[in-house]
Every structure is written in C-alpha cells, then in structure tokens.
Amino acid sequence: METFRINSKLKENEKEILIQTANNPSEGTISSSIYIDGVLTDMYMLPHPLEENPDRVMSLVKETHGIRKEELEALLAAYRSAMSSSDAKLICKLGQALFYKRLFAEAKELLRSAITLDPEFHAARQALAKVEMELGNLEGALEHAAESARQCPRYADYRKTLGEILMMNGDFANAVNEFQDAVKINLYYAEAYYNLGLAILKSVKGRPHEHTAPNLLGRSRDAFNKAAMIDSQYAASPFDQGIKALEGAQLNKALEHFEAVSKRAKEKHRSEQSTFFMRFVIMRDAAADELIEDRIKYLEKEIAKNPSYVDLQSELGQCYLEQARKNWRKGVEQYRKTLELHPGFGSARRCLDEAERHYGELCHSLEKIVSRS
C-alpha cells in the first residue's frame, strides 16, 4: 500500500511549528508528529485496518491531520485572545495547555500574567515553576516552587515539584526532605517515592566514600520498590536492571536505568495531560459530557494524591453539579420524546412540567455557583 504524507506549517512568536501526518502500511497505523523549530515535541498514533483500501487510508490521513492542525490553531488563537483577558483561571488553564504542548515561552507569558492578576494564585505559580524548570531557569523555578509550597504546605504535588527543582540544582539533601514530606502527606504517591530514590542515589553518587553509603543505598532501593508497588509503570524495564546495578554498587549504571524509567513515566504523564488540557481549553464552552467525565476522573485522581487541595475539592463539586445538570436535561428531553409518541400520557406530562420547572432553578443555581468560584 502507498504511503500518504501531509505537512502543514504554523508560525507563532518566530517559532515554526510543523505538523506531519503519514500512514505506515507495514504497521497499519497513522501517525501525526509535531515539530517546534525542528524538534519533535509530540506524536499521536492511530491504528487502521491493514486491509483498508488506499482511498480510505488517504481520507483517514487527511482527517487525522486536519484534527491536529485545528487543535493547534485553536490553542494558539486562545493564547492570543488570553493576552487581553482578566480571567486568571482561564489564563492559567491555557498556560498549562501550552506547557504540556512544550510551548514554554508562551506558557510562561500567560502564567506570569495570571500571577500578576492574582498574586495568591498558587496553582499558576506552581505551573510557572515547572515552565521555568523546563526553560533551565532554576533560580526562577525555585522561587515560584518555594512560594507555592509556602502558600499550600499540605499539597503533596507542590512539595514534589520543589524537590525536583532542588534535585536538578544539586541540592540533594533538601530535595530528599521535600520528597519525604510529599509521601508523608500522601502515602501512595508513587512519583514522589521514585524521586526520593533518585535523590538519595544521586547524593551517594556525589560522595561515594561516605561511611553511611550502604545504608543510604538501602533507603534508595526501598523508595524505588515502594514506587513500583504503587504504580506498575515504575516496575517496567529497565527497573529490574536498575535494582540489580544498585545492589552491586554500580551507581552510574543504576542511575542510567532508573532515569530511563522516570523519563518514560514523565512523558506518559505529559501526553495524558496534553490531551486533557487541550480538550478542556478548546471545548470549555461546549462542556461536552465526555469532557466533564474526564475532568471528574482527573480531579478524583489528583485529590487522591493531594487530599488537602481544597481548590480541586471545590472544582470537583462543581463538576458533579454540572454533570447532574446535564443528566437532568437529558431526562427532560426524554419526557418530551415520550409525549411526542403519546401526547395523552398524563403522568409523563406532569413529570415534564415538574422537571422543566426544577431544571430552570438548577441552571440558575449553577450559574451563581460558577460566578462565585
């Protein structure tokens, strides 16, 4: 079967964004790759039946390419629009969407704007710390991460992010403290345990002749194993090779294996969050059923990691109410269909009248809740 390839280019802030979509006949897949200034930043892969005819495959390539191009165009348009917005929460969401798309300069611009609008907006400050870390500005990253952790000391995510920046800055002792705080807040925080193992390993590697090294390496191994027990992705290859190298005191090799596992886990998280934030930002006006369900799952997962994150708890309550409103509307529509089929169905008519009256009240209440959040 023939290979079909489509390329499109977008420009933003002197960046060239290339979207390249093609089919792979031998694998029966269609992939869309996104390059920013020549660097691969994202890839989406979809299967198609091997027996599909060429016209159908070409159509699928065009459709897939069009979706990716429209998503990026919509995100960039939203970014330009947000520059004149005063809605700090919306700006923060867009900044996070850009971050997960690896458009770091644009993400930084929006997140700084959100913090200017609301200096106590800790979620935006935490996101900005991650952006600064990716840009290599460790001083700025440390400043924002420390401030967000000060604002919300019981948020395990914030302690974990601060620990990552400290570890990147070579301050392993304080990084260990932050990761330990994170797992005290949330005993099932796999990524924090894994980072704790990395931080201890790196500290030993930096001073291998210290007499406490064997004990520290044991703590490092225990932290890695806890992470793998909680989340199986950390147990995937080459995790076992890392443990074996660690037990043999082959620290360079152990670190290489463990960092490979960490890099893969981070990329999986980035890909998942990229998809979620794209949909949340681009579809925010439509508030599709599937989008709300995805947001609820995301919030429940994040709250499991950060039980004291009151902002997420509040947003989850709002999402549940929005989901209830949509289900109520479906009930109203179902009664209407019933009466179209049987206009004389008296009990259905009474139920519809009652449901429509309460639906209006429900919508009004939800609007008030949203305006206060």
Q: Is the dihedral of CA 72, 77, 82, 88 positive or negative?
A: negative
pLDDT of residue 49: 64
- Looking at the DSSP assignment, which residues form a beta bridge with residue 20? 7, 33
Instruction: Considering only the C-alpha atoms of the chain, give the largest distance between any 2 of them, rounded to a whole number of Å.
Output: 89
pLDDT at 318: 83
Residue 219: predicted pLDDT: 94
Q: Which fold has domain 153-266?
A: 1.25.40
pLDDT recorded at residue 286: 47
Residue 149: its pLDDT value, please?
95
pLDDT of residue 285: 46
Q: Tokens 């802030």 — which residue?
A: 13
CA–CA–CA angle 156, 274, 312 (5° rounding): 35
Q: How far apart are CA 60 and CA 73, in angstroms?
A: 20
For the chain, counts of helices (H) and of strands (E): 14, 4
Look at residue 225 in the predicted model and tell me its pLDDT: 97
Cα distances from 347 to residues 308, 352, 354, in angstroms, run: 46, 9, 11
| The pLDDT value given to residue 287 | 47
Q: Helices 104-117 & 122-134, crossing angle to 10 degrees?
A: 150
pLDDT tens-digit profile, the chain (373 residues): 688 999 999 998 888 999 999 998 888 888 999 999 999 988 888 877 666 678 888 888 898 898 888 888 888 888 888 888 888 988 998 999 999 999 999 999 999 999 999 999 999 999 999 999 999 999 999 999 999 999 999 899 999 999 999 999 999 999 999 999 999 999 999 999 999 999 999 999 887 666 567 888 999 999 999 999 999 999 999 999 999 999 998 999 999 999 999 999 999 999 888 877 776 565 554 445 666 777 788 788 878 877 777 777 887 888 888 888 888 888 888 988 888 888 888 888 889 888 888 887 887 777 667 655 5
